[in-house]
Amino acid sequence: MTSLLQRWTGLCQLAGQYQIPVLAGYDHPEMDCRSWDGLWLRDPAAGSAVALSAGLDMLSACWVLAHELGHHFTCQRAEGAAAHLTTADNQKRWGQGRVHQPEEEAANLWAALELISDKEWQELEETHPESLDDISKALELPPAAALWRARAEQEKQSAQPPVKLRLDRKAQQLLSKPVNGQGGHQSFLRHLQRCLSGSTLYLTRKDFNRIREYLLRTGGGYRSRYQAIMDCALRGIEKSGGLRRFFHEPQPE
């Protein structure tokens, strides 16, 4: 497993290769380090540069640096001068998957792919198929890194038929409960209800990924419904011999 220091060193080497100065632990008497986390700047004449706040710990600094470099490698060069500021609020939304700006999404996807190799992701997803939080802890990275790596992986996957997941009585009862109101959770739970036939849930990999993502950031009554389904899925995964076997996906070489 790649260490946090190795990930940091790799990012710094990449920045150096493309002549992108990185000012780590930047501090200024007129700037509160708690009000910002990272900054990426691009000037058509001078090139790009990244600054990281002195208020970041090593784990957060590694992820923010990857994100800011992601802007450099995904931003359209024809746009001329550009800048991006990362704050604690940004990072909170990233960890919840709540990003609606295409440039932010592109930077996060690039960062996750750069930090986490295919081999690492495949191994950890098999070890902790049900928990993005456990995956992020094993990687020594913020939960946002695992969330966006999962999304990057999903973009590579072609649509597959659903698998049959046997739900226990608890999961059946929770999933069958009436869903009131409108919103993301309500829409998704109604979708899952339509995929339920008796005790069998027809579960796609995409829906599994969404349940796993919701478990990372959801509390209250909705969480208990997702957790009950995930508990059943985990039993099916273990019985099948792994996550990819459960979803009939190609095995890594």
23-60 confidence digits (pLDDT tens): 987 655 555 555 688 889 888 888 899 999 888 899 99
What's the chain's length in residues? 253
29/19 Cα distance (integer angstroms): 28
Contacts of 53-57 with C-beta under 8 Å, sequence gap 24+, read 53/25, 53/26, 53/27, 54/25, 54/26, 54/27, 56/25
Q: Fill in the DSSP letter of residue 236.
A: H
Per-residue pLDDT tens over the stretch 145-181: 999 999 999 998 888 899 999 999 999 999 999 998 8
State residue 101's pLDDT score.
79
Measured between alpha carbons, how far is residue 172 from residues 127, 167, 201 in Å? 26, 6, 9
Where are the chain's structural domains? 4-156, 163-246
Q: What is the pLDDT along the chain (253 residues), one digit of tens a residue?
A: 899 999 999 999 999 999 999 998 765 555 555 568 888 988 888 889 999 988 889 999 999 999 999 999 998 765 667 777 787 777 676 666 666 678 889 999 999 999 999 999 999 999 999 999 999 999 999 999 999 999 999 998 888 899 999 999 999 999 999 998 898 899 999 999 999 999 999 999 999 999 999 999 888 889 999 999 999 999 999 999 999 999 998 877 6
Residue pair 48/40 in contact by the 8 Å Cβ criterion: yes
How many CB atoms are located within 10 Å of the residue 54 CB?
14
